[in-house]
Amino acid sequence: MPEQLPLISGRIASRAEIPRAGRIVVKVGSSSISGANAGQIRPLVDALATAHGRGSDVVLVSSGAIATGIPYLRLDSRPTDLATQQAAAAVGQNVLIYRYQDCLDRYEIVAGQVLLTAGDLENPVHRSNAQRAMERLLGLRILPIVNENDTVATHEIRFGDNDRLASLVTQLVRADLLLLLSDVDALYTRPPGTAGARPIHHVAFGEDLAEVEFGDIGSAGVGTGGAGTKVAAATLAAASGTPVLLAATTQVAAALEGADIGTWFDAAPRRQ
């Protein structure tokens, strides 16, 4: 076997250094792991387990509770009223965690469910408690699976999308990398499939993306995020010192191995 390189706890400067990252936050969207794509959970877990096995701390921010719960409520589409969304989330979160743990069992990795609201991270006491719990889970080599606590969140206190939640969790645990996964393989100059759309390989810190035409990334009608929310989340994480890679869920293994794929967002330069 090749010699295992030491993990880096701190600045990751390029895709090639991802396999050496000491702590990684991975975010996956609803459309990538629910409905017809529920089967993508297993290869996603395989990739996370590989990173975990080489010593990295891994945190998964997973959407999909509402989308997973919809069939169990015998609904034809995503509900629009808050109460039914909360009911779907209550059912779907249980099923979703079971699916993740069922896949993790093969690697003898235990998942820890962490449900947060925006208020939890805005309140200093709650934030400190959440941070302490996350650090303890990671110290015990548990794989935290984070989602918004939909059953108690209201429209006024919601994160709005799990891309933002992932960015805030990245700050909370001081991660070395944020990997944003969706059903699109990169950020494009305009919605993929439209004339003239080109993938953006690299975004320097502070680069003006005003000319990028944002469209929805999710294609299954079950998510709430899009390219705009991912860029906003990437910008937030990068400003706090963590680089971001945006890639397709189907590319997660390659992304965590340091392949030259997706869109890389540079972190803010270190202060002298």
Annotated binding-site ranges: 27, 63, 150, 162, 182-183
Inter-residue contact 218 to 182 (CB < 8 Å): yes
Annotated binding site for substrate: 63, 150, 162
- SS3 label, residue 148: strand
171 touches 237 (CB < 8 A): yes
Nearest to 115, CA basis, from 78, 179, 169: 169
Candidates 78, 261, 95, 272; CA nearest to 187 is 261
Token pair of 151 as six digits:
């059953």
Alpha-carbon torsion angle 158, 28, 196, 189, nearest 10? 50
Scanning the chain, the segments in alpha helix (DSSP H) are 30-33, 41-53, 65-69, 82-104, 118-122, 124-139, 162-173, 227-239, 252-256
C-alpha closest to that of 46 among 4, 121, 105: 105
Known binding-site residue numbers for ATP: 27, 182-183
- Count, in order, helices (H) and strands (E) of the chain: 9, 10
- How far is the C-alpha of 238 from the C-alpha of 246, rounded, in Å? 12
